[in-house]
Every structure is written in structure tokens, then in C-alpha cells.
Amino acid sequence: MSEAVIPAASVDDTTSEPLPLTGERTVPGIAEENYWFRRHEIAYARLLDRCTGKTVLEAGSGEGYGADMIAGVAERVVGLDYDAGAVAHVRARYPRVEMIEGNLADLPLDDASVDVVVNFQVIEHLWDQGQFLRECLRVLRPGGQLLISTPNRITFSPGRDTPLNPFHTRELDAAELTELLVEAGFAVEEMLGVFHGETLRALDAKHGGSFIDAQIERALAGEPWPADLTADVAGIGIDDFELRAGDIDASLDLVAIARKPS
């Protein structure tokens, strides 16, 4: 693949149709989806500096908003997704991302060809998580980083042997994610968690103890959302979440920073 730097380009919303909201991925610009979108977005925002000046692969780039954020600081961004519709969407809407279609279990990149692999909210969808991580190790240069996030099984599907989300094949807790990374050959440098900040804790109290459950109940009811719930969801920003170490088993999502040994 060419090493030429993709020139920066502004987003033109007229160049592509929005991707449908299927439940398998989150997309920007939908008021009722904003909580989940911002909860995903915080990992990009807080770890963006690790991509500065680097060659970055986003493995499982989905709608492409994250790859485009990375493109604002990276030397080069390659986006990879198995879904042809998503690939076409990213190429049209985010032209500074070099987009390719491919299988995450068999990454179509050369050995030691990227500095950073980003994989946010994807590994829980994969059938062979170990194989994917070994592929990440292969394409990273020595000393390269893997940035990975995933729902915390303990809080996302509490008390269940199978995931609540039908699109998830296997959810992980912090110990399980660490074990997978180490078995694949990575050194885990940090294990962080996403938590509700002060505003979201207040919304938990306002909406019967769980702001998340309030949203899920309305979505499952298949009826219009109450105006106050819609407004509360639409008003959420990334600063309403916290990304920090400690109390990891109580976190909403896990965010791991792992490195390929030099």
C-alpha cells in the first residue's frame, strides 16, 4: 500500500447517505443515540494524542467518525471494515481516511507496517478474538501500540452467561481482556475504565436510578420518547464521562493500552 500521506479534507455531509442505525454500531447525529455515541467517542478524544504523527490502522472503523478524528492528528490513517456499505460510506464522507474492505481475522496489511492499531467497541463482535489480536501484533511495528475498548461484561450484561446485545459474541471483563492481550504477545500498559461523571450521575438519579435503563426501556417500547428524556440524552457530551484507572470492575467500558514488545 502506498505510504503517501492522505491530504486533509473537510467533511461534506452531502456526499453520502447516513448509515442505518442497526444496533450493531453507533452513528453521529441522532438525538436518541447521542448517549452511546458520546460514550464511544470519549476513547478517541482521550487517546488521540497517542496517534499524533503516526501511521494508524483503525480495525473495524464502522461509520468512520473516529478514523476521521484520528486523521486530524495522524500522518496516515487506514480504516478497515468488513461491511461494503460502511466502506463506501467512509470513502465518500471522510476522504482523508484510506479505507479498505477486509477481514479482521486476516488483516490485509504487511507485517510491521503501522505504529498504532485502534479497535474501539469491536472485539466483542468477533468470533475469534485471539486470532484478531495476533493479527494486530503482526501488523504493528516493534514498540507499537494497540488501543482497544470494549463493554465491561460485569456491568453491561450483569449476571448473564451470554451477552444482552445480540450482535455481541463474547463480552469481557478486565481480567479476561488482559489475559487475551498477554496470550497474543502484548504487554498491557494501562487498563482504564469509562464511568459516568457528575452530570450523568445526576441523570441516573433523575431517571429512576439508571439513565441507561431509562433509554433502553423507551427504545424497547417502540413509542416516542418523552421530551425530557430526549433532551437529556441529546445534551450529553464527552466531558460528562470520565476515563480513569481504579475500581475497574465497576466501569461501563474497558479501555486498554497495550504495546508490542520492541
Q: State pLDDT tens for residues 203-250.
A: 999 999 999 999 988 888 888 889 999 999 999 999 999 999 999 999
Is pLDDT larger for residue 138 or for residue 224?
138
Residue 116 has pLDDT above 80, yes or no: yes
pLDDT tens digit sequence for 157-182: 776 777 666 778 789 999 999 999 99
pLDDT of residue 31: 83
Please give the C-alpha separations between residue 86 and each of 10, 12, 25, 64, 216, in angstroms, as whole numbers.
Answer: 19, 16, 10, 8, 25
pLDDT of residue 2: 29
Which residues lie closer than 8 Å to 85 by C-beta, 6 or more apart? 19
What does the block give as the cell for 210?
Answer: 439508571
Q: Are 203 and 229 in contact (CB under 8 A)?
A: no
What CA–CA distance (Å, rounded) separates 251 from 14? 38
Alpha helix (H) residue ranges in the chain: 34-47, 65-71, 84-93, 129-139, 153-156, 174-184, 198-206, 211-221, 227-234
